[in-house]
Amino acid sequence: MELVSIEKELKDLQILYERYFAGVEKREPIKQREKLARSLRHFANRRIVQTDLRFLYQNLATRFHSYAGYWDRILRLMDEGRFVRGGTIPPKTAPESQTLRSPADDEVENLLQQLRATGNSEGFEREKVARFLSEQREKIRATFGQKEVEFRVVVENGKPRIKVRAKK
């Protein structure tokens, strides 16, 4: 049955993308993704009479489009340099259950990656860094008003430090 083979192809494609994001595979599985999209489009304009088969097709199409959005988001983060292949493996939860990240979350993740790049990131945990950023942002705003603030990692005396400054 074609829909069962499409379901297996979707699972295989999901595994291939996880391997690509983890750094195991060197190339994105573009051909497999296009083949699966073609197979799903084949059923898009057909009238499926059996309810169970129609439900299976709709479920597969929805899952594919959800995963495609998730994969595209990770690929965009990789292009922007905010996702490190092999360093951070994306969560294995279904893409429908993921929430959108705020710019503050992205800023925390960016700083954590910079800290890891220094090779001495012990003691810097996500919650601590997020708390530090919000406290420093408030202190600067109290002093300088509603100016935007910028954070960066510098190494002083062999130890990484997070520097804060108001944007001009």
- pLDDT for 96 equals 46
pTM of the model as a whole: 0.50
Q: What percent of the chain has pLDDT over 70?
A: 82
DSSP symbols for the chain:
-HHHHHHHHHHHHHHHHHHHHHTSSSS--HHHHHHHHHHHHHHHTS---SHHHHHHHHHHHHHHHHHHHHHHHHHHHHHHT-S-TTTSPPP-S-GGGPPPPPHHHHHHHHHHHHHHHHT--TT--HHHHHHHHHHHHHHHHHHH-S--EEEEEEEETTEEEEEEEE--
Closest to 125 measured CA to CA, from 134, 117, 116: 116
CB 29 within 8 A of CB 93: no
pLDDT in tens, 63-91: 999 999 999 999 998 888 888 776 544 45
What distance in Å separates the CA atoms of residue 123 and residue 117, rounded to the nearest whole number?
14
Q: Which residue has the tokens 């594919």?
A: 64
Cα–Cα–Cα angle for 4, 92, 66, rounded to 5 degrees: 55
What distance in Å separates the CA atoms of residue 157 and residue 168, rounded to the nearest whole number?
28
The domain segmentation of the chain, as residue ranges, is 2-84, 103-166
Residue 97 has pLDDT above 50, yes or no: no
pLDDT tier for residue 28 given thresholds of 50, 70 and 90: very high
